[in-house]
Structure 1
Amino acid sequence: MNKPANTDEYIATFPPPTQALLQEMRKIILSAAPAATEVISYGMPAFKQDGYITVWFAGYAKHIGFYPSSAITHFKEEISAYKNSKGAVQFPLDEPLPEELIKAMVRFKIQENLEKAAMKNKK
Protein backbone atom coordinates (compact mmCIF):
# COMPACT_ATOMS: atom_id res chain seq x y z
CA MET A 1 0.00 0.00 0.00
CA ASN A 2 1.26 3.46 -0.88
CA LYS A 3 1.50 5.96 1.95
CA PRO A 4 -1.95 7.49 2.38
CA ALA A 5 -2.23 11.25 1.94
CA ASN A 6 -4.67 11.64 4.84
CA THR A 7 -6.76 9.76 7.38
CA ASP A 8 -9.76 9.39 5.07
CA GLU A 9 -7.60 7.79 2.40
CA TYR A 10 -6.07 5.44 5.01
CA ILE A 11 -9.45 4.35 6.38
CA ALA A 12 -10.87 3.77 2.87
CA THR A 13 -8.38 0.92 2.34
CA PHE A 14 -10.17 -1.32 4.89
CA PRO A 15 -13.35 -3.41 4.70
CA PRO A 16 -16.51 -1.51 5.76
CA PRO A 17 -16.77 -3.01 9.28
CA THR A 18 -13.16 -2.06 10.02
CA GLN A 19 -13.71 1.37 8.45
CA ALA A 20 -16.56 1.95 10.90
CA LEU A 21 -14.33 1.13 13.89
CA LEU A 22 -11.49 3.28 12.56
CA GLN A 23 -13.92 6.19 12.13
CA GLU A 24 -15.17 5.59 15.67
CA MET A 25 -11.58 5.60 16.99
CA ARG A 26 -10.95 8.86 15.13
CA LYS A 27 -14.09 10.42 16.65
CA ILE A 28 -13.17 9.28 20.18
CA ILE A 29 -9.65 10.71 19.89
CA LEU A 30 -10.93 14.03 18.49
CA SER A 31 -13.48 14.30 21.30
CA ALA A 32 -10.63 14.07 23.82
CA ALA A 33 -8.28 16.27 21.78
CA PRO A 34 -10.42 18.79 19.86
CA ALA A 35 -7.41 21.06 19.23
CA ALA A 36 -5.35 18.25 17.68
CA THR A 37 -4.47 18.16 14.01
CA GLU A 38 -4.73 14.96 11.99
CA VAL A 39 -1.53 13.85 10.27
CA ILE A 40 -0.11 10.70 8.74
CA SER A 41 2.98 9.52 10.59
CA TYR A 42 4.75 6.21 9.97
CA GLY A 43 2.01 5.51 7.42
CA MET A 44 -0.71 5.64 10.09
CA PRO A 45 -3.25 8.23 11.19
CA ALA A 46 -1.93 10.29 14.07
CA PHE A 47 -2.94 13.35 16.03
CA LYS A 48 -0.53 16.19 16.69
CA GLN A 49 -0.97 18.88 19.29
CA ASP A 50 1.39 21.49 20.72
CA GLY A 51 4.16 20.35 18.40
CA TYR A 52 4.05 16.69 19.47
CA ILE A 53 2.38 13.58 18.13
CA THR A 54 -0.15 12.63 20.79
CA VAL A 55 -1.36 9.20 19.56
CA TRP A 56 -1.48 6.98 16.48
CA PHE A 57 -3.98 4.32 15.44
CA ALA A 58 -4.08 1.68 12.73
CA GLY A 59 -6.30 -1.02 11.31
CA TYR A 60 -5.37 -4.70 11.09
CA ALA A 61 -7.12 -7.93 10.14
CA LYS A 62 -8.28 -8.71 13.68
CA HIS A 63 -7.78 -5.55 15.73
CA ILE A 64 -7.40 -1.79 15.90
CA GLY A 65 -3.93 -0.83 17.06
CA PHE A 66 -3.72 2.18 19.36
CA TYR A 67 -0.33 3.74 20.02
CA PRO A 68 -0.29 6.16 22.94
CA SER A 69 3.40 5.45 23.72
CA SER A 70 4.13 6.27 27.38
CA ALA A 71 0.47 6.18 28.39
CA ILE A 72 0.72 2.38 28.17
CA THR A 73 2.76 2.27 31.37
CA HIS A 74 0.47 4.68 33.19
CA PHE A 75 -2.66 2.69 32.21
CA LYS A 76 -1.12 -0.79 32.56
CA GLU A 77 -3.89 -2.06 34.85
CA GLU A 78 -6.72 -0.62 32.75
CA ILE A 79 -5.42 -2.19 29.52
CA SER A 80 -4.59 -5.58 31.04
CA ALA A 81 -7.69 -7.12 29.43
CA TYR A 82 -6.25 -6.34 25.98
CA LYS A 83 -3.17 -7.56 24.20
CA ASN A 84 -0.57 -4.84 24.71
CA SER A 85 3.11 -4.06 24.49
CA LYS A 86 5.49 -1.30 25.50
CA GLY A 87 3.83 1.32 23.29
CA ALA A 88 0.65 -0.24 21.92
CA VAL A 89 -2.67 -1.79 22.80
CA GLN A 90 -4.83 -3.93 20.52
CA PHE A 91 -8.60 -3.58 20.54
CA PRO A 92 -10.29 -6.60 18.89
CA LEU A 93 -12.56 -5.88 15.93
CA ASP A 94 -15.35 -7.95 17.46
CA GLU A 95 -15.58 -5.88 20.67
CA PRO A 96 -16.73 -2.31 21.29
CA LEU A 97 -13.94 0.24 21.58
CA PRO A 98 -13.37 1.28 25.23
CA GLU A 99 -14.24 4.94 24.67
CA GLU A 100 -13.55 6.27 28.16
CA LEU A 101 -10.21 4.46 28.39
CA ILE A 102 -9.10 5.81 25.00
CA LYS A 103 -10.14 9.34 25.98
CA ALA A 104 -8.26 9.08 29.28
CA MET A 105 -5.11 7.90 27.51
CA VAL A 106 -5.33 10.73 24.96
CA ARG A 107 -5.80 13.32 27.72
CA PHE A 108 -2.83 11.84 29.59
CA LYS A 109 -0.64 12.18 26.49
CA ILE A 110 -1.76 15.78 25.91
CA GLN A 111 -0.87 16.69 29.49
CA GLU A 112 2.46 14.91 29.22
CA ASN A 113 3.25 16.78 25.99
CA LEU A 114 2.32 20.11 27.59
CA GLU A 115 4.73 19.35 30.43
CA LYS A 116 7.48 18.46 27.92
CA ALA A 117 6.88 21.71 26.05
CA ALA A 118 7.00 23.72 29.32
CA MET A 119 10.29 22.08 30.30
CA LYS A 120 11.71 22.75 26.84
CA ASN A 121 10.69 26.41 27.03
CA LYS A 122 12.39 26.82 30.43
CA LYS A 123 15.77 25.97 28.92
Structure 2
Amino acid sequence: MPPRFADVDAYLAALPTDSRAVVAEIRRRIRAVAPPDAVEEIAYQMPTIKLDGKNLLHYAGWRQHVSLYPIPAADEALRAEMARYADGKGTLKFPLREPIPYELIERVAAALVEERR
Protein backbone atom coordinates (compact mmCIF):
# COMPACT_ATOMS: atom_id res chain seq x y z
CA MET A 1 0.00 0.00 0.00
CA PRO A 2 1.44 3.44 -0.92
CA PRO A 3 2.31 5.80 1.91
CA ARG A 4 -0.33 8.21 3.24
CA PHE A 5 0.81 11.76 3.78
CA ALA A 6 -0.55 13.97 6.55
CA ASP A 7 0.45 17.18 4.82
CA VAL A 8 2.62 18.64 2.05
CA ASP A 9 5.70 18.80 4.30
CA ALA A 10 5.45 15.05 4.91
CA TYR A 11 5.04 14.50 1.16
CA LEU A 12 8.18 16.53 0.43
CA ALA A 13 10.18 14.66 3.06
CA ALA A 14 9.33 11.35 1.37
CA LEU A 15 10.43 12.39 -2.13
CA PRO A 16 13.63 11.21 -3.80
CA THR A 17 16.39 13.75 -3.27
CA ASP A 18 16.51 14.70 -6.96
CA SER A 19 12.92 15.85 -7.05
CA ARG A 20 12.48 17.20 -3.48
CA ALA A 21 14.08 20.62 -4.09
CA VAL A 22 12.29 21.01 -7.43
CA VAL A 23 8.88 20.21 -5.93
CA ALA A 24 9.56 22.56 -3.01
CA GLU A 25 10.29 25.37 -5.48
CA ILE A 26 7.17 24.52 -7.50
CA ARG A 27 5.19 24.72 -4.26
CA ARG A 28 6.67 28.14 -3.49
CA ARG A 29 5.94 29.43 -6.99
CA ILE A 30 2.34 28.16 -7.00
CA ARG A 31 1.66 29.62 -3.56
CA ALA A 32 3.04 32.97 -4.77
CA VAL A 33 0.39 33.24 -7.50
CA ALA A 34 -2.48 31.52 -5.67
CA PRO A 35 -5.01 33.79 -3.98
CA PRO A 36 -4.77 34.17 -0.20
CA ASP A 37 -7.90 32.06 0.29
CA ALA A 38 -6.39 29.06 -1.53
CA VAL A 39 -5.84 26.03 0.70
CA GLU A 40 -2.97 23.57 0.47
CA GLU A 41 -3.59 19.92 1.30
CA ILE A 42 -2.97 16.37 0.18
CA ALA A 43 -5.49 14.93 -2.30
CA TYR A 44 -4.96 11.74 -4.30
CA GLN A 45 -1.74 11.41 -2.24
CA MET A 46 -0.14 14.47 -3.83
CA PRO A 47 0.07 18.17 -2.97
CA THR A 48 -3.06 19.99 -4.05
CA ILE A 49 -4.15 23.59 -4.09
CA LYS A 50 -7.86 24.03 -3.44
CA LEU A 51 -9.83 27.13 -4.25
CA ASP A 52 -13.43 27.69 -3.21
CA GLY A 53 -13.49 24.16 -1.78
CA LYS A 54 -12.53 22.48 -5.09
CA ASN A 55 -9.25 21.07 -6.35
CA LEU A 56 -7.47 23.62 -8.51
CA LEU A 57 -4.02 22.17 -9.14
CA HIS A 58 -2.11 19.03 -8.18
CA TYR A 59 1.65 18.64 -8.42
CA ALA A 60 3.85 15.62 -7.83
CA GLY A 61 7.48 14.55 -7.79
CA TRP A 62 8.77 11.34 -9.32
CA ARG A 63 12.23 9.87 -9.80
CA GLN A 64 12.77 11.32 -13.27
CA HIS A 65 10.20 14.10 -13.59
CA VAL A 66 7.70 16.35 -11.81
CA SER A 67 4.11 16.75 -12.95
CA LEU A 68 1.28 19.27 -12.77
CA TYR A 69 -2.39 18.42 -13.23
CA PRO A 70 -4.63 19.67 -14.91
CA ILE A 71 -3.68 21.74 -17.93
CA PRO A 72 -5.57 25.06 -18.20
CA ALA A 73 -7.52 25.95 -21.34
CA ALA A 74 -5.24 29.03 -21.68
CA ASP A 75 -4.55 31.36 -24.56
CA GLU A 76 -2.77 30.25 -27.71
CA ALA A 77 0.68 31.43 -26.60
CA LEU A 78 0.51 29.59 -23.27
CA ARG A 79 -0.88 26.45 -24.94
CA ALA A 80 2.04 26.50 -27.38
CA GLU A 81 4.56 26.81 -24.56
CA MET A 82 2.91 23.99 -22.58
CA ALA A 83 2.72 21.65 -25.60
CA ARG A 84 6.32 20.51 -25.18
CA TYR A 85 5.51 19.22 -21.68
CA ALA A 86 2.03 17.79 -22.31
CA ASP A 87 1.88 14.12 -21.45
CA GLY A 88 -1.50 12.55 -21.79
CA LYS A 89 -4.78 14.23 -21.16
CA GLY A 90 -4.49 16.97 -18.57
CA THR A 91 -0.88 16.41 -17.45
CA LEU A 92 2.27 18.46 -17.78
CA LYS A 93 5.48 16.47 -17.20
CA PHE A 94 8.80 18.25 -16.61
CA PRO A 95 11.90 16.00 -16.88
CA LEU A 96 14.39 16.50 -14.04
CA ARG A 97 17.30 16.13 -16.48
CA GLU A 98 16.29 19.48 -18.05
CA PRO A 99 16.01 22.95 -16.51
CA ILE A 100 12.59 23.31 -14.86
CA PRO A 101 10.55 26.15 -16.42
CA TYR A 102 9.39 27.66 -13.12
CA GLU A 103 8.03 30.80 -14.81
CA LEU A 104 5.84 28.62 -17.04
CA ILE A 105 4.60 26.74 -13.97
CA GLU A 106 3.65 30.08 -12.38
CA ARG A 107 1.74 31.08 -15.51
CA VAL A 108 -0.06 27.72 -15.60
CA ALA A 109 -1.11 28.15 -11.96
CA ALA A 110 -2.24 31.73 -12.61
CA ALA A 111 -4.25 30.60 -15.66
CA LEU A 112 -6.01 27.96 -13.57
CA VAL A 113 -6.85 30.56 -10.91
CA GLU A 114 -8.19 32.89 -13.62
CA GLU A 115 -10.35 30.10 -15.07
CA ARG A 116 -11.79 29.37 -11.63
CA ARG A 117 -12.49 33.02 -10.79
Give yes or no for TM over 0.5.
Answer: yes
- Please state if 1:58 is matched with 2:60: yes
- Alignment partner of 2:116: what SS? helix
- Alignment partner of 1:78: what SS? helix
Q: Contact conserved, 1:52 with 1:113, CA < 8 A, in 2?
A: no
Q: Contact conserved, 2:16 with 2:62, CA < 8 A, in 1?
A: no
Q: CA deviation at 1:20?
A: 0.5
Gaps of 5+ in 2: none
Task: Provide Cα deviations, 1:11-57, integer angstroms capped at 9, x if missing partner.
Answer: 11122221101101101111111522111111110011222211000
- Please state if 1:47 is matched with 2:40: no
Task: Provide Cα deviations, 1:68-118, integer angstroms capped at 9, x if missing partner.
Answer: x241x434311122242221110011222212211111111112112xxxx
Q: Which residue of 2 aligns with 1:119?
A: none
Work out which of the residue numbers 75, 80, 87 in structure 2 matches 1:77. 80
- Report the CA distance shift for 1:43/1:113 in structure 2 as closer, same or farther (over 3 A): same
- Please state if 1:107 is matched with 2:110: yes
Point out the structure with max Rg over C-alpha.
1
TM-score w.r.t. the length of structure 1 is 0.81
Amino acid at match of 1:4: F
* Residues paired across the two proteins, number: 112
Gaps of 5+ in 1: 115-123
User: What root-mean-square deviation, in Å, do the aligned CA atoms of Structure 1 and Structure 2 show?
Assistant: 1.6
Q: Contact conserved, 2:71 with 2:91, CA < 8 A, in 1?
A: no
Amino acid at match of 2:32: S
Amino acid at match of 1:28: R
